[in-house]
């Protein structure tokens, strides 16, 4: 939890406007050489549409799901390994004209 300003993402119009950020993470070994890391993120705060209007409840919410798979065999780990990552993010933004929604993802290996 922090005071509402955060660059271009969150703007606070009064000192009591707070923003929230959280991340939950789980880790597990699949085998001796492979493990999986899963996570969920959430963030909420007032957006810049609130500053220019008489409305004070316009907020932006971000949801994210991420996964990382690591493979590194014990005997040949010097030259043989793999790390795969992926994340999906969904945004919900209140606007005076209605709700805007957008999402995106990436995959790397």
pLDDT in tens, the chain (109 residues): 666 566 666 777 777 778 889 999 999 999 999 999 999 999 988 877 755 555 567 888 999 999 999 998 887 667 788 999 999 999 998 887 888 889 999 999 9
User: How many domains does the chain fold into?
Assistant: 1
Host domain of residue 96: 2-108
Distance CA 60, CA 48 (A): 9
For residue 8, the model assigns a pLDDT of 65
Q: Please answer whether residues 86 and 65 qualify as being in contact, where contact means their C-beta atoms are separated by less than 8 angstroms.
A: no
Among the listed residues 103, 7, 16, the one whose alpha carbon sits nearest the alpha carbon of residue 62: 103
Tokens of 53: 């209007």
Longest CA–CA separation in the chain, Å: 65
Among the listed residues 20, 17, 76, the one whose alpha carbon sits nearest the alpha carbon of residue 51: 17
For residue 80, the model assigns a pLDDT of 85
For residue 96, the model assigns a pLDDT of 79
pTM of the model: 0.76
For residue 108, the model assigns a pLDDT of 97
Among the listed residues 48, 64, 66, 67, the one whose alpha carbon sits nearest the alpha carbon of residue 56: 48
Among the listed residues 38, 30, 27, 35, the one whose alpha carbon sits nearest the alpha carbon of residue 81: 35
């Amino acid at each position: 939890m922090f005071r509402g300003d955060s660059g271009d993402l969150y703007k606070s119009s009064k000192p009591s406007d707070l923003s929230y950020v959280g991340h939950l993470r789980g880790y597990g070994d699949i085998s001796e050489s492979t493990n999986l890391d899963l996570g969920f993120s959430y963030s909420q705060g007032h957006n810049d549409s609130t500053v220019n209007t008489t409305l004070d409840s316009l907020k932006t919410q971000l949801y994210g799901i991420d996964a990382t798979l690591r493979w590194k065999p014990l005997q040949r780990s010097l030259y043989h390994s793999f790390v795969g990552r992926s994340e999906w993010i969904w945004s919900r933004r209140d606007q005076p004209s209605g709700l805007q929604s957008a999402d995106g993802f990436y995959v790397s290996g």
